[in-house]
Structure 1
Amino acid sequence: MTIDKIRRGLDRKDFSVVELIKSYISRAKKLNPKLNVFITENFDLALEKARQADERRQKNEILGELDGVPVAIKDAICVKNILTTAGSKILQNYYPPYSATVIEKLESAGAIIFGKTNLDAFAHGSSTENSDFGPSKNPWDLSRVPGGSSGGSAVAVSASLAPAALGSDTGGSIRLPASFCGITGFKPTYGAVSRYGLIAMASSFDQIGPMASSAQECRQIFEVISGRDQRDATSFDVKDANNTNKKFNQLANMTIGLPKEYFTPFREKSLTGLADEIDSDVKQVIKKAIAILQNQGAKIVNVSLPNSKYGLAVYYIVQPTEVASNLARYDGILFGKTREYFGQEAKRRIMLGTFTSSAGYVQKYYHTAQKVRELIKQDFDKVFEKVDMIISPVSPTPAFKFGEKVEDPLKMYLSDILTVPVNPAGLPAISAPAGFVKREGKDLPVGMQIIGAQKADYKILEVVEKYQEITDWHNIKPKVL
């Protein structure tokens, strides 16, 4: 059920919040052993919160649109006194003494924290195969990955184990699993949502965001969790942003940019020509989605993002440098486990980050990467002087098989080649279901990425809402049972 359907059902007294939560618990108990969505099930406390929500309804003291709505939470986001592992056994006994700002805001709005979802350990990965608690399964094909690192949150929504979830996105970790699982996933502008209480991966890239079936539901959650927070100096109130005021009452009012680097082949088998990495079937799905927008009157123009081809290289220099710093706190004293419990991917990033920040190399690699990062941002700024938003695929491929890329880090990193450039520039971007491709007789979802200028969060959410009014891809659910 969507958030609106839940609200209408509760308003009509078709069911109580307790009955609603019990139905989700029943489904989770049936499917979680198969899908491995939840690291921690919060069912008993969720039922208690449901009873409180029903009492508020009886007193006509409803807290808002999310009152009584269950929300799944990526297990890198702290919830007070509830096990929070970040997908790592280093934290298998960690019960935070505080909640993240986003959790405080959700609970103040009456939302019910339903469970903590699986992820790649410390959010290092694109498939959940790096989770110390085993991978989550893609509900469209159990032999395939759900994407990562917010894979558990994506599966929770796709398999109807929760109407909505929170994830975090450092280089595509909301958008990639949203694409692979056929849901909508929104990465806000950097700073639009407080990071206080998020277990840090790479602090200058990380951003918490909502995942749901539709952009409308993502917006409903974003309205609650966004805003200035004095505990996060990078945060701001996106509602005050000047460039979000333009409204798209019709799709005909907008201009869409198509980066030639994302659609035109650069050279055969090139790791720097983005278009060369994209599966032809995926391209066709995105082109059909663009045609739908064009038929509604949207203006399509070709644009260029010449430095995007360096996005992955920039990301895998700057990000590991920040990872090495952030993981240094796990020294075996406070959390009771030593660094020997780090997985191979964490060790790889620590080693790379230590190297790129070491004397003699920091100027050559880290500082150079930061300069190119600024060039990537400038490319986007120039394009947004001419267009309202940019469209591309989310991923070069649909969901891939378990084990297909886990032994080849470069192949795994290339899964994020289309999402990564957004994060160094701090831009908002959303993955919206755009169609399916056939693989081994099964339908696999494909997501369309819409990128906006900084602080244009509501603008791109509104456009996807309009798109989803004339398409039905976001309403199609996998047959898990």
Structure 2
Amino acid sequence: MALFDLRLQDLHNQLNNKELSVAELTEASYKRIAQTEPAVQAFITLNEEGARKQAAELDKQLQEGGERGLLFGLPAGIKDNIVTEGLTTTCASQFLRNYDPIYDATVTKKLKAAQTVTIGKLNMDEFAMGGSNENSSFYATRNPWNTEYVPGGSSGGSAASVAAGQVYFSLGSDTGGSIRQPAAYCGIVGLKPTYGLVSRFGLVAFASSLDQIGPLTKNVEDSAYVLQAIAGYDSMDSTSANVEIPDYTSALTGDVKGLRIGVPKEYLGQGIDPKVKEAVLAALRVYESLGATWEEVSMPHTEYAVATYYLLASSEASSNLARFDGVRYGVRADNPDNLIDLYRRSRSEGFGQEVKRRIMLGTYALSSGYYDAYYLKAQKVRTLIKRDFDQAFEKFDVLIGPTAPTPAFRIGEQVGDPLTMYLNDILTIPVSLAGVPAVSIPCGLADGLPVGLQIIGKSFDESTVLRAAHAFEQHTDFHKARPQL
């Protein structure tokens, strides 16, 4: 892991000084994967031939001289719901186990433009529906800190691969916490950008009004570099925001003097593990020592967030997943009796239990006679949750609390209890409903497992979120801790 423990700037300097080659970095990645993958199972598909070819081409450019971009040559993993031309994209579903895309997602193109090396596609909960990575139709990814525990979800493979030192950074997607929660469980940095900041074109949709792509990295500085590369307006995405992209790295000053922090009392109340609460309070004391101030604030509609989210997300999933019918792409049932039989059997055989559960819930919520009572009511409550954040940000620069109510739980512990599983996202879901940015950073250990600190900011104010996260990181060593696989 020695190479991937280096700061990005140090790796960059070694590459430019020709002390290190892209091929060596790529081989280090695959060597580490060979060592750890039997225990972790983070990848669904490896891109060995393509990555080595890409590395050789980049090394030729190095020999030609000239300064390279900061992400040049870095081995990266991509969550398997982000399409990659010529590289199988399964969404961890049997429905798409044979799907080879004919185009790249916008973020994939941007990583190629930044000249990173795509190591492979990362395991996830099927169609991003889950909070533990146990809903993958291939196998469950395991937490590198303790392989008896879940890595979180749905971007569990993305988080585990970075924590295990298999890749330098990865991309995940966050619908209700699917970047931040696994980052917290695996002791790394996970950033969910403002909705619309990063293009969703080429992201296989779960819930279109919530999905957002973001980076998972070992430190905040790397997160800023990757965000810089993937953010920006995209005409191919109708929800893409046409806003100016600042220099995120210039915000990493380490100075938070005068920063006003709000601590939602609902985020430290009933159901929060005492060790998680203590880690968060200790983090707030660090901010106090750096000149920031904090006080409690109420977010009164937090209690309705989980119910609101699962109605809205399931309704959008029901609509988005209607395209998987066995006709256009993906797996098709053999010898159907007629068209209806083709639809029924293809979907029954292709989708897993959790996906079917959410399609059924969403279809019910959208059906005639129930639309006003459920879907429309949930949209109104979403507005109230968004208003809670708007009012809080009139007084505070950021909001801080735990990322998840507990550390990671054991594999199999909650798989038979969907409601308990859903409640693990109670602290990340409100942020997604409001569409604002948030980052999870390591802030301690509880029973030998990482604890995540969630820093939430105003819309399109990733700079302040990253500044606050970076300042904490500069005065603590939690981000330097590594699992002993």
TM-score range, shorter chain: over 0.9
Q: Are 2:369 and 1:374 aligned? A: no
Quick one: which of 331, 340, 346 aligns to 1:336? 331
Alignment of 1:377-392 (within 5 A): 377-392=386-401
Give the distance between the partners of 1:111 and 1:244, measured in 2 at CA.
Answer: 19
Report the TM-score when normalising by structure 2. Answer: 0.93
Q: In structure 2, what residue type is equivalent to 1:403?
A: G
**Counterpart for residue 471 of structure 2:** 466
Larger mean CA deviation between 233-242 and 391-400 belongs to: 233-242
Alignment of 1:348-367 (within 5 A): 348-367=357-376
Quick one: which of 453, 461, 474 aligns to 1:456? 461
Go from structure 1 to structure 2 and tell me whether the alpha carbon gap of 1:246 and 1:47 turns closer, same or farther (over 3 Å shift): closer
Find the residue that maps to 2:104 and give its secondary structure: coil
Give the distance between the partners of 2:254 and 2:9, measured in 1 at CA.
Answer: 21
Q: In structure 2, what residue type is equivalent to 1:386?
A: K
What is the CA deviation profile of residues 248-302 of structure 1, one whole-angstrom value per residue up to 9, with x for unaligned ones?
6621131000011122xxxxxxxxxxx2111111101111111111111111121
Maintained 8 Å contact 1:244/1:456: no
Find the residue that maps to 1:251 and give its secondary structure: coil
Aligned positions, number: 465
Give the distance between the partners of 1:5 and 1:177, measured in 2 at CA.
Answer: 27
Find the residue that maps to 1:277 and give its secondary structure: coil
Maintained 8 Å contact 1:244/1:457: no
Quick one: which of 395, 401, 422 aligns to 2:404? 395
Deviation at 1:63, TM superposition (A): 4.3
Maintained 8 Å contact 1:127/1:149: yes
Q: Are 2:183 and 1:178 aligned? A: yes
Give the distance between the partners of 1:241 and 1:110, measured in 2 at CA.
Answer: 21
Go from structure 1 to structure 2 and tell me whether the alpha carbon gap of 1:288 and 1:103 turns closer, same or farther (over 3 Å shift): same
Find the residue that maps to 2:141 and give its secondary structure: coil
Quick one: which of 132, 141, 148 aligns to 1:136? 141
Deviation at 1:13, TM superposition (A): 2.5
Go from structure 1 to structure 2 and tell me whether the alpha carbon gap of 1:257 and 1:12 turns closer, same or farther (over 3 Å shift): same
Go from structure 1 to structure 2 and tell me whether the alpha carbon gap of 1:243 and 1:31 turns closer, same or farther (over 3 Å shift): closer
Q: Are 2:18 and 1:3 aligned? A: no
Give the distance between the partners of 1:4 and 1:84, measured in 2 at CA.
Answer: 31
What is the CA deviation profile of residues 164-188 of structure 1, one whole-angstrom value per residue up to 9, with x for unaligned ones?
0000000000000000000000000
Instruction: Return structure 1 stretches of 4+ with deviation > 6 angstroms.
Output: 241-248
Maintained 8 Å contact 1:63/1:109: no
Deviation at 1:10, TM superposition (A): 1.3
Give the distance between the partners of 2:433 and 2:230, measured in 1 at CA.
Answer: 22
Alignment of 1:67-216 (within 5 A): 67-216=72-221
Maintained 8 Å contact 2:251/2:467: no
Q: In structure 1, what residue type is equivalent to 2:451?
A: V
**Counterpart for residue 297 of structure 2:** 303
Give the distance between the partners of 1:113 and 1:238, measured in 2 at CA.
Answer: 28
Q: In structure 1, what residue type is equivalent to 2:35?
A: K
Give the distance between the partners of 1:286 and 1:153, measured in 2 at CA.
Answer: 24
Find the residue that maps to 1:113 and give its secondary structure: strand
Find the residue that maps to 2:429 and give its secondary structure: coil
Go from structure 1 to structure 2 and tell me whether the alpha carbon gap of 1:7 and 1:284 turns closer, same or farther (over 3 Å shift): same
Q: In structure 2, what residue type is equivalent to 1:309?
A: E
Maintained 8 Å contact 1:128/1:136: yes
Go from structure 1 to structure 2 and tell me whether the alpha carbon gap of 1:239 and 1:249 turns closer, same or farther (over 3 Å shift): farther
Give the distance between the partners of 2:66 and 2:115, measured in 1 at CA.
Answer: 11
Quick one: which of 269, 272, 281 aligns to 1:287? 281
Alignment of 1:178-327 (within 5 A): 178-239=183-244, 250-263=255-268, 275-327=269-321
Deviation at 1:9, TM superposition (A): 2.0
Q: Are 2:27 and 1:18 aligned? A: no
Q: Are 2:423 and 1:414 aligned? A: yes
Go from structure 1 to structure 2 and tell me whether the alpha carbon gap of 1:239 and 1:475 turns closer, same or farther (over 3 Å shift): farther
Maintained 8 Å contact 1:189/1:428: yes
Give the distance between the partners of 2:207 and 2:183, measured in 1 at CA.
Answer: 21
Find the residue that maps to 1:143 and give its secondary structure: coil
Give the distance between the partners of 2:397 and 2:470, measured in 1 at CA.
Answer: 15
Larger mean CA deviation between 198-207 and 460-469 belongs to: 460-469
Find the residue that maps to 1:276 and give its secondary structure: coil
Give the distance between the partners of 2:223 and 2:365, measured in 1 at CA.
Answer: 37
**Counterpart for residue 342 of structure 2:** none
Structure 2 unaligned spans of 5+ = 333-345
Deviation at 1:79, TM superposition (A): 0.4
Find the residue that maps to 1:257 and give its secondary structure: strand
Give the distance between the partners of 1:77 and 1:4, measured in 2 at CA.
Answer: 27
Quick one: which of 414, 419, 422 aligns to 1:405? 414
Deviation at 1:217, TM superposition (A): 0.4
What is the CA deviation profile of residues 325-367 of structure 1, one whole-angstrom value per residue up to 9, with x for unaligned ones?
1111111112233101211101110110011000110001100
**Counterpart for residue 266 of structure 1:** none
Maintained 8 Å contact 1:243/1:456: no
Give the distance between the partners of 1:186 and 1:258, measured in 2 at CA.
Answer: 19
Find the residue that maps to 2:191 and give its secondary structure: strand
Give the distance between the partners of 1:260 and 1:20, measured in 2 at CA.
Answer: 45
Deviation at 1:62, TM superposition (A): 4.6
Maintained 8 Å contact 1:255/1:388: yes
Identity of aligned residues (%): 45
Deviation at 1:457, TM superposition (A): 1.1
Q: In structure 2, what residue type is equivalent to 1:281?
A: K
Find the residue that maps to 1:114 and give its secondary structure: strand
Find the residue that maps to 1:145 and give its secondary structure: coil
Give the distance between the partners of 2:158 and 2:310, measured in 1 at CA.
Answer: 24
Give the distance between the partners of 1:90 and 1:29, measured in 2 at CA.
Answer: 28
Give the distance between the partners of 1:309 and 1:243, measured in 2 at CA.
Answer: 33
Maintained 8 Å contact 1:241/1:455: no
Go from structure 1 to structure 2 and tell me whether the alpha carbon gap of 1:80 and 1:62 turns closer, same or farther (over 3 Å shift): farther
